[in-house]
Amino acid sequence: MSAGELNTVFQGLGTTVFTVMSGLAVEHEAINLGQGFPDTDGPEEIRAEAARRVVEGPNQYPPMQGVPELRQAVADHDRRFYGLEYDWQSEVVVTSGATEALADCLMALLNPGDEAILIEPFYDCYLPIIEQTGAKVRVISLAPPDWSFTRQDLEAVFSDKTKLIVLNTPMNPAGKIFTRDELALIAEFLERHDAYAVCDEVYEHLTFDGLKHLPLANLPGMRERCLRIGSAGKTFSLTGWKVGYISGPASLMAVIAKAHQFITFTTVPALQYAVALGLNQSDDYYQGLANELERKRDHLRSTLEGIGLPVLPCDGTYFLTADIAKFGFNGSDYDFCKHITANAKVAAVPMSVFYHPETNDAPNSLIRFCFCKKDEVMTEAADRLERFFAKG
Ligand code: PMP
Ligand code: GLN
């Protein structure tokens, strides 16, 4: 059988940058500030609940849309944090991670010939999933340091074929939280073109400096057009669990549930019960998580600035971006990340991989560091970077 017979989207793809850089980090015994995952597991109470449920059951197929306890907890969470009202029975679906949630939403909404808008830099899984549906991707390209856009930028990509926009806020890799004004502009275009928004809000609770996440669904008229995606991986520092959730209007959720039923059908029941317990944690838990990450961001920022690397603003997420232009490195940002992984023994991720392959002016001197690691690990990473860059 020749490779030509395989799927045209997937056979052409490389391995994700996260997998590549994590592999290199292991190979070179580097501290892995590339792939975004914490090195401490989330609350013991939540993990203990998962363990108890595995032992005591139930361990058979749970309800297709998710166990009632978790769907209720998601609806309660959305009301508590954003004042958004969703009916837990018809407007919430539990998925195996936000990645599956994204696939469910995009497959349920898109037809061949539709257009889907991505805001670049964008998280890696959006593009292949959209391409697999046969829809065409239109790109709004944002530039540092404020990663903002204008009315003209939206006019250039919205058309009568626009079916949806994917909006990731707080945004990976840029660390940006979209402002109310920016959201209002997007809302205006969604109304005008009768389009939807797939809102990737996995970093909703990882926000800093007193800034709060604002879902697009909160803007007037937007609840009916938005699908809100969350992830227990980020909210409870349990990225390996792959438990996600979608909230949205019943008319859309009914079709999204059809996609979900043939992609994974269900998600591990024990983890669902444990995440339900998690979502009901007190405000102290949520604030504590954000405060802790803010402190880690500040630590990494002072390290990078200390070695002369300018950093971009970071309002949320796990990620801080540094500008390496002044080193005049002879190679791409990807080469630079491989270079410091092998030689400084600290891994990072290049910004250019978050751009569409056809974008000509993707940045080549920005690299993303992940800061959700133990203090001693961040201190060791700081020492290694300081030693390496002091050598010139
Ligand atoms: N969206 C973004 C922006 C992410 O950074 C991630 C991180 N993994 C995901 C979606 C996927 O989340 P999950 O691990 O729950 O599938
Ligand atoms: N979201 C994580 C990141 O941006 C990676 C998740 C993954 O490896 N799929 O680093």
- pLDDT tens for 80-105 read 999 999 999 999 999 999 999 999 99
User: Which ligand 2 atom is nearest residue 19's CA?
Assistant: 8
| Mutation pick for ligand 2 pocket among 15, 35, 368, 372 (CB with most ligand atoms within 8 Å) | 35
| 59: Cβ contacts below 8 Å, ≥ 6 apart | 269, 270
Q: Is 25 helix (H, G, I), strand (E, B) or coil?
A: helix
CA of 38 relative to ligand 1 center, distance in Å: 13
- At residue 349, the pLDDT reads 97
Pocket flag, ligand 2, residue 207 (CB < 6 Å): no
Q: What CATH class has 8-42+285-390?
A: alpha beta
Percent of the chain with pLDDT over 90: 96
Which residue type sits at 298?
A: D
Retrieve residue 45's tokens: 């109470």
The confidence band for 390, taking pLDDT boundaries of 50, 70 and 90, is confident
CA of 355 from ligand 1 middle (Å) equals 17
Q: 351 pLDDT exceeds 80?
A: yes
Q: Is 36 in the pocket of ligand 2 (CB under 6 A)?
A: yes
Element at 183 (helix H, strand E): helix 180-192
In tens, the pLDDT along 30-66 reads 999 999 999 999 999 999 999 999 999 999 999 999 9
22 lines ligand 2 (CB under 6 A): no
Instruction: Mention every residue, 6+ apart, whose C-beta is less than 8 A from residue 392.
Output: none
User: Which protein residues are within 6 Å of ligand 1, measured from CB?
Assistant: 97-99, 123, 168, 172, 200, 202, 231, 233, 239, 242, 244
Site to substitute for ligand 2 among 19, 37, 206, most atoms within 8 A of C-beta: 37
Residue closest by Cα to atom 7 of ligand 2: 18
Give the position, in ligand 2's atom list, of the atom nearest the Cα of 99.
Answer: 9
Q: For atom 8 of ligand 2, which residue has the closest CA?
A: 18
What's the average model confidence in pLDDT over 336-342?
97
172 lines ligand 2 (CB under 6 A): yes
Check pLDDT > 90 for residue 392.
no
Q: How far is Cα 392 from Cα 387, in angstroms, rounded to an integer?
A: 9
209 in the Ramachandran plot: left (φ > 0), alpha (ψ -120 to 50) or beta?
Answer: left
Listed in order, the ranges of the chain carrying CATH 3.40.640.10 are 44-283
Looking at ligand 2, which residue's alpha carbon is closest to its atom 9?
18
Q: Determine if ligand 2 sits within 6 Å of the CB of residue 18.
A: yes
Ligand 1 atom closest to 242 (CA): 15
> Span 161-171, mean pLDDT?
98
Distance 25 CA to ligand 2 centre (A): 15
Q: Cα separation of 201 and 228, whole Å?
A: 7
205 contacts 234 by C-beta, under 8 angstroms: yes
| Residue limits of CATH 3.90.1150.10 in the chain | 8-42+285-390
pLDDT digits 0-9 by tens, 255-311? 999 999 999 999 999 999 999 999 999 999 999 999 999 999 999 999 999 998 999
Q: What are phi and psi of 163, to 5 degrees?
A: -100, -40
What distance in angstroms lies between residue 173's CA and the mean position of ligand 2's atoms? 10
Question: Which ligand is closest in space to the CA of residue 123?
Answer: 1
Encode 246-256: b = buried (16+ Cβ within 10 Å), e = exposed: bbbbeebbeeb
Q: Which amino acid is at 332?
A: S
Atom 4 in ligand 2: residue holding the nearest Cα? 36
CA nearest to 88, candidates 302, 250, 214? 250
Average pLDDT, the chain: 96
Distance of CA 138 to the CA centre of its chain: 20
Fold of 44-283: Aspartate Aminotransferase; domain 2 (3.40.640)
pLDDT (0 to 100) of residue 4: 63
